[in-house]
Amino acid sequence: MAGCGCGCGGNEETRFVYSCSGGADLGEIADKVTRKLSKDGCLTTVCLAGLGADLSGFVESAKSADLNVTIDGCGVLCAKKTLERHGVKPLSFSMTELGLAKGKTPASDEIVNEIFKMIKEKVENRNAC
């Protein structure tokens, strides 16, 4: 994963990201940030609905991953709770915990880029050598 990590020369980790894509503006931001992290090569996007549907392949992949990241829009934390229901503790981010207000935050490129940089930095620092 060229876009993210400490570059220690070790084996690449399996790092997944799951996103809330809820109906509000914060769900849209969470979804766009998730897609940007995946395109960057930092994390691999996985379908949250597959876990919610208890599909064994999705569940086993989450359990065997080196890192699972959830990006939720609001404080309900649907993505985080979906992983936890399967015994997986993710590195969790919520747009509301990052200071955005539901119903008051447009999904602008500026906001998406700001949140993307913040989350990418935290993922990279998690792997600091």
Percentage of the residues of the chain whose pLDDT score is greater than 90? 82
> What pLDDT digit, counting tens, does each position of 54-104 carry?
999 999 999 999 999 999 999 999 999 999 999 999 999 999 999 999 999
The tokens describing 63, both together, are 């359990």
The pLDDT value given to residue 23: 85
Give the total number of structural domains in the chain.
Answer: 1
Residue 5: pLDDT over 60? no
111 lies in some domain? yes
Answer whether residue 32 is part of any domain. yes
126: in domain? no
Specify whether the backbone of 46 is left (phi greater than 0), alpha (psi in -120 to 50) or beta.
beta
Domain ranges, residue 62: 15-119
Per-residue confidence (pLDDT) for residue 53, from 0 to 100: 97
**Rounded distance between C-alpha atoms, residue 12 and residue 99, angstroms:** 32
Query: Does residue 127 lie within any of the structural domains?
Result: no
**Residues in CB range of 114: below 8 A, 6 or more apart:** none
Report if residue 124 sits inside a domain.
Answer: no
- The pLDDT, as a whole number, for residue 9 is 44
Q: Is residue 101 part of a domain?
A: yes
In a domain, 47, yes or no: yes
Q: Which are the contacts of 49, defined by CB distance < 8 A and separation ≥ 6?
A: none
- Residue in the structure block whose two tokens are 């064994």: 56
Instruction: Return the DSSP state at 91.
Output: E
Is residue 125, in this structure, part of any structural domain at all? no
Looking at residue 109, its pLDDT comes to 97
Q: pTM for this structure?
A: 0.89
Q: State yes or no: pLDDT of 3 exceeds 60.
A: no
